[in-house]
Amino acid sequence: MATGMLRDILWWWLRQMRAFLPHRLLPGDAPADALLAIVDGPREAPSIRFVLRRRRRTTPLGRLAVNDTSQRAPTAVARWRTKRVVLQPDPTSVLERRVVLPLAAERDVASVLRYEMDRLTPFTAEQVFWSATVERRNRTAGRLELSLSLVPKAALLPVFAVLSRIGLTVSAIEATNRVGVARRIDTLAAASSRRPWQVIVAAAVAALAIVAVVTPFVTQSLARAQVEARIAALQPHLAEVEALRRRIAAGTAGSDVIAAEQARLGDALQVLATITDLLPDDTVLTDLTLRQGKLDISGRSLVAPRLIPAMAADPIVHNPAFVAPVTRTSDGKADTFVIHAELGP
């Protein structure tokens, strides 16, 4: 998306810079100087009318019949054998259709159309002279709408044969389609058909457009450098603040860890206080073990069996039970016991 936006900005600036140029310097506004070979006359006996176009003015040079191989070209035409020759065929020979392609095809639309020509038209790319004009870019739908103009080479073979016989090479075809829109189809390489001054003008406009596009980014980079310098100056103060924040967070985290472990494993002092309150006064503990919420106690009591109901009555003590037989002491005055229980909320 960023690439499409940059391309739109570039084309917008190109159009803005183009508006400042004189009309006579704009390649698209004035027809180029050339020797025009205009095909007219009846279809069964066509002829070629030669016209010199120079500085928007036209000068007739003569006529040559297409079917008469013995007829010689007008003398004035011979001087233009090394110049630009533009063929203007019968408008009915120019075919045109609308073509819709994916927007991504705009990067190399010529290659795409050359490959798809036999699917889009009854001809292959080698059988026609053709050109494409972009009519609309629909970025929302991702489509590129084109006008494809083409002239079958077979229809122009007699004309090309006559022109070749008198030493003329056609560099472009100019024609008007059925709705009156002028179309231009290059028959030679684009670089050879473009005049040097047009190349210079196009390069100058492109350079101005690039400068206009790059300037905001340069300004933004300079502003960003200033902001980064200020951030670097404040970095020592930020380091002190971060160190203090880490110390505070570490203290809070330690308290949270202790609290979490006490909730999971139980507070030994609280458990000892609870067991002391639950057991009768005639009970003496000789051992207490607390491990991961598991409680083991052992000792002596005058009546050991009553210890289980006393411990089960407390909500934090679960499943109290003897894990070893209750036995009497050697003097017969007390019972020895070992009890296992689970602690929980």
Higher pLDDT, residue 314 or 16: 314
Q: Sorting pLDDT into bands at 50, 70 and 90, what band is 194? A: very low
Rounded mean pLDDT, 94-110: 87
Pairing type for strands 335-343 and 327-328 reads antiparallel
Rounded to 10°, the helix 2-18/196-233 angle is 130
Is residue 168 one of the residues assigned to a domain?
yes
Is residue 179 one of the residues assigned to a domain?
yes
Per-residue pLDDT, 192:
42
Q: Which runs of consecutive H residues, i.e. helices, occur in the chain?
A: 2-18, 75-78, 109-120, 153-165, 190-193, 196-233, 235-265, 268-278, 307-312
The CATH number of whichever domain residue 325 belongs to comes to 3.30.1360.100
Please state, rounded to an integer, the average pLDDT across all residues of the chain: 78
The CATH number of whichever domain residue 119 belongs to comes to 3.30.420
**Smallest Cα–Cα separation from 286: which of 296, 271, 300, 267?**
300
The first and second tokens of residue 282, run together, are 């005639």
Q: How far apart are the first and last CA of the chain?
A: 59
Q: Give the range among 177-186, 230-239, 257-266, 332-341 with minimum mean pLDDT.
A: 257-266
Cβ atoms within 10 Å of 65's Cβ, excluding its own: 14
Is residue 45 one of the residues assigned to a domain?
yes
With tokens 């290659």, the residue in question is 111
The SS3 call for residue 335 is strand
User: Which of 187-218 are b and which e, b meaning 16 or more Cβ less than 10 Å from the residue's Cβ?
Assistant: beeeeebeeeeeeebeeebeebbeebeeeeee
pLDDT tens-digit readout, 258-289: 566 655 555 667 777 788 887 887 888 888 88
Give the phi and the psi of residue 236 in degrees, each rounded to 5: -60, -40
CB 328 within 8 A of CB 335: yes
Q: Sorting pLDDT into bands at 50, 70 and 90, what band is 184? A: confident
Is residue 100 one of the residues assigned to a domain?
yes
Is residue 12 one of the residues assigned to a domain?
no
Strand partners, 142: none
Domain tally for the chain? Answer: 2
- Name the residue range of residue 272's domain: 268-343
pLDDT tens-digit readout, 216-228: 777 888 888 888 8
Is residue 87 one of the residues assigned to a domain?
yes
Per-residue pLDDT, 58:
86
Q: Give the range among 1-10, 281-290, 293-302, 321-330 with minimum mean pLDDT.
A: 1-10
Amino acid at 339: I
Rounded mean pLDDT, 143-149: 89
Q: Sorting pLDDT into bands at 50, 70 and 90, what band is 190? A: very low
Same domain, 170 and 290: no
Q: Sorting pLDDT into bands at 50, 70 and 90, what band is 191? A: very low
DSSP 25: G
With tokens 């007008």, the residue in question is 74
- Does residue 161 surpass a pLDDT of 80? yes
- Does residue 26 surpass a pLDDT of 60? no
Is residue 8 one of the residues assigned to a domain?
no
